[in-house]
Amino acid sequence: MTTARPARSPRRRVPRNTLNPDRILDAAVTLLDRDGTEAFTMRALAEELGVGTMAVYSHFRGKDELSDAVAQRLLAEVELPVTGVGDPGDRITEVVRSLYRLFSEHPSALQLLTSRPMRGDEQIAVTDQLLGLLRSAGLGRTEAVRAYVALMQYTVGAAVWTTRSRRRCEREEGVGERIKKRLTALPPDSYPSLTDLAPELSAVGNMGPVQFEYGLGRLVRGLLGR
Amino acid sequence: MTTARPARSPRRRVPRNTLNPDRILDAAVTLLDRDGTEAFTMRALAEELGVGTMAVYSHFRGKDELSDAVAQRLLAEVELPVTGVGDPGDRITEVVRSLYRLFSEHPSALQLLTSRPMRGDEQIAVTDQLLGLLRSAGLGRTEAVRAYVALMQYTVGAAVWTTRSRRRCEREEGVGERIKKRLTALPPDSYPSLTDLAPELSAVGNMGPVQFEYGLGRLVRGLLGR
DNA sequence: ACCTGAACACCGTTCAAGT
DNA sequence: ACCTGAACACCGTTCAAGT
């Protein structure tokens, strides 16, 4: 029959070989950045690509394998500073900062990267560089590993935190004002610091990078022991 | 007809008022701790409670409202040290540590707590206490707020990281050995630090609390500037 | 008021079929 | 080999109905 389907899309059979892993990954990243993790659906992805839902399965075993590949591709974007000179502390800060930038630019990458083990070459290169820098900053073997993990933990946490408060600011209007109102309405006897610092607290929402720099700087200082 | 259903459960109509918000929350936490976030389903929850799927909807508007309530209940478990004396740095460490413990004991709470804005009185009390301690440690108004956020970010990140690697250790056998093998197999010329520190790196998986203490100690030191 | 099942619009994925 | 639609077992939720 030629009766039109419920209008989903007037797509006819697409020429063969229009799809390949790269095109799929591009579309996946686009979809993820534009609509977020919960909209990252095999069906939505196929729609984005203008193909049938099952077409993607010819190139990836399933959503899990696809998600792994997306994480890989995003990690490959992290640019490592090649400059071999300079204060180790500064260079550490640089590498970690570029990781944080990745998470900020691709908020949904975060969930992908934190919800699955970090395999892959890109991750390996970053790790090796950081460990080397920490060692050359004078840390012992175990200490360097601990410091590396602490840096990763802080970065992931900062990114999760930032992403969440940014999402909130986008969704609701005038969040800062509302927070301030709620804080100043609290009983000062029970919550003296909270009411006192209401102005500073309500401003914290939209200062992701500044906040990250602050914490990272202090953490590096604490880790390197000066 | 009296033909048995496909055996889902031989449940008959349950007496009224067997359900209440508290019982539901208990079951939700149990389910979450036992089977994880992805198994936390309205249908599974109903099964756990021995009621029909829709029974829960008489007490919560939907899964979102229920999830909020679960997050609330878990936060209420955080015990705040009431001791009003002692080094501010130590007391800060104590509060943050108890937050981390909450996340460790209820891994799935983490996703709940990070995926939605922290509203609720429990969160407020923790925040006020930390801000007060940071101020009494000599930090300025803005600095105290920044330090508070940095501490939260580190805690969330550490919890996410720990949870993930623990899940991985549970799922797969002998992860440490496998990681070590993979690391020592890498070309030492390209990744000198990684291959050199293979023993320390492969041991990092199962030392959550120790690692957390290390990073937290250094972060606090950096934040308080000594 | 509280609990029920059927039904709806989603999801990932299997499978047999088209080209 | 690559792409297709139908179908299956899930999901959250609406709705009319039972008690």
pLDDT tens readout for residues A13-66: 788 888 999 999 999 999 999 999 999 999 999 999 999 999 999 999 999 999
Token representation of residue B68: 């909020």
- For residue A198, which residues of chain B lie inside 8 Å, CB to CB? none
Task: State whether the beta carbon of B59 lies below 7 angstroms from any atom of strand C.
Answer: yes
Binned at pLDDT 50, 70 and 90, residue A77 comes out as confident
User: Over the stretch B102-139, which tens digit does the pLDDT of each residue have?
Assistant: 888 888 878 888 776 666 677 788 899 999 999 999 99
Buried b (16+ CB within 10 A) or exposed e, B46-62: bbbbebeeebbeebbee
List the Cα angle B14/B15/B20 in 5-degree steps: 90
Token representation of residue B171: 């799922």
Give how far the C-alpha of residue B170 lies from the chain's centroid of Cα atoms, to the nearest Å.
17
Say if residues B216 and B154 touch (Cβ distance below 8 Å): yes
Average of pLDDT values for A86-101? 92
Position A154, amino acid? Y
Cβ pair B204:A155 closer than 8 A: no
Buried b (16+ CB within 10 A) or exposed e, A12-32: eeeeeeebeeeebbebbbebb
Residue in the block written with tokens 């059979």: A13
Q: How far is CA A68 from CA A36, A55, A63, A113, B46, in A?
A: 16, 18, 9, 8, 33
More confident residue, A107 or B7: A107
The terminus-to-terminus CA distance of chain A in angstroms comes to: 77
Would you call A113 an interface residue with chain B, using a CB distance cutoff of 8 Å? no
- pLDDT > 70 in chain A, percent: 88
Q: Which pTM value belongs to this model?
A: 0.86
Residue B79: pLDDT over 80 = no
How many CA atoms within 13 Å lie on the side-chain side of A106? 24
- For residue B200, which residues of chain A lie inside 8 Å, CB to CB? 141-142, 144-145
Residue A9: pLDDT over 50 = no
Task: State whether the beta carbon of A13 lies below 7 angstroms from any atom of strand C.
Answer: yes
Residue A67: pLDDT over 90 = yes
- For residue B123, which residues of chain A lie inside 8 Å, CB to CB? none
Using alpha carbons, select from B156, B104, B150, B94 the residue that is nearest to residue B126.
Answer: B94
Residue with smallest Cα–C1' gap to D13: B62
DSSP code for B18: -
Query: In strand C, which positions have an atom below 7 A from any protein CB?
Result: 1-6, 10-16, 19
Residue B50: pLDDT over 50 = yes
Cβ pair B158:A153 closer than 8 A: yes
Residue A3: pLDDT over 60 = no
Chain mean pLDDT for chain A: 87
Q: What is the DSSP string of A63-105?
A: HHHHHHHHHHHHHTTPPPP----S-HHHHHHHHHHHHHHHHHH
Distance CA B129, CA A191 (A): 8
Binned at pLDDT 50, 70 and 90, residue A174 comes out as confident
Q: How far is the CA of A164 from the C1' of D7 (A)?
A: 38
Cβ pair A146:B193 closer than 8 A: no
Dihedral of the CA atoms B21, B26, B27, B32 (nearest 10)?
A: 120
Distance CA A98, CA A88 (A): 16
Which phi and psi (to 5°) does residue A173 adopt?
-95, 140
Return the closest nucleotide (C1') to the Cα of B41. Answer: D11
More confident residue, A207 or A209: A209
More confident residue, A63 or B75: A63
Cβ pair B160:A149 closer than 8 A: no
Give which of B96, B135, B181, B200 to mutate to test A binding, by max A Cβ within 10 Å.
B200
Q: Mean pLDDT lowest for which of A34-43, B77-86, B207-216?
A: B77-86
